[in-house]
Structure 1
């Protein structure tokens, strides 16, 4: 049921699972399984709530099993690849780079920043 930190991972037939345990203003304890939706119980004490949650999970698993599927991930496309190299043969590229450098130097001069060799 409750796993002490020193015993986590020592039982090969179980897996420590995070549970949120809270107490309402009316002193009722609530235990919710954080990893599986729909598993939530109430108890008169912390231990009672955890015990009920343990029973609920074991009852659900009695007729089934936890299985894992390897599902393919959606391919991710880098949006920058579509325009990579777009200007490699542009005859105005160097002129454009020079204009950017001059604009940056002018902006730096206005702000009082002196940079040597300010190029892109």
Structure 2
């Protein structure tokens, strides 16, 4: 099932919209402004303010004959693949032993990495 509803401000008919804008300084000294998420909404100008004003005009013109709606869809039910194996070793008498071996190996690897980083720091200190 898909449903949608218009986004309206209950206080008045004119809603204020907020956009995140990427404002960049170009190599030629000009500025560009782009609405994040709406890559086709771009503008430029000699100054940051000019680029932003041009972008604002572009957005206002675009939204003049448009409206924003909220779209809801039902998410398909997907089986979680982890549920098939969750707890499968719960009653295995060797499970705790395997976990202890994994933990010991992890400690060994961590100690080796710590020694490696100390050696790298010592070499950097010599340079």
Number of residues of Structure 1 aligned to a counterpart in Structure 2: 90
Q: Secondary structure of 1:61's match?
A: helix
Structure holding more strand per residue = 2
Q: Shift of residue 75 of structure 1?
A: 3.0
Give the TM-score normalised by structure 1: 0.59
Asked if 2 retains the 8 angstrom alpha-carbon contact of 1:17 and 1:35, the reply is no
Q: Counterparts of 1:47 and 1:97 in 2: how far apart (Å)?
A: 65
The structure with higher relative contact order (CA 8 Å, sep 6+) is 2
Q: Shift of residue 74 of structure 1?
A: 3.5
Q: Specify the alignment match of 1:61 in structure 2.
A: 63
Structure holding more helix per residue = 2
- Consecutive unaligned residues of structure 1, counting only runs of 5 or more, are 1-11, 112-120
Give the TM-score normalised by structure 2: 0.56
1:2-53 per-position Cα deviation (integer Å, ceiling 9, x unaligned): xxxxxxxxxx721221111111121111000013231111111111110110
Largest Rg, 1 or 2: 1
Q: Aligned-residue CA RMSD in angstroms?
A: 2.9
Asked if 1 retains the 8 angstrom alpha-carbon contact of 2:45 and 2:51, the reply is yes
- Consecutive unaligned residues of structure 2, counting only runs of 5 or more, are 1-13, 109-127
Q: Shift of residue 69 of structure 1?
A: 0.4
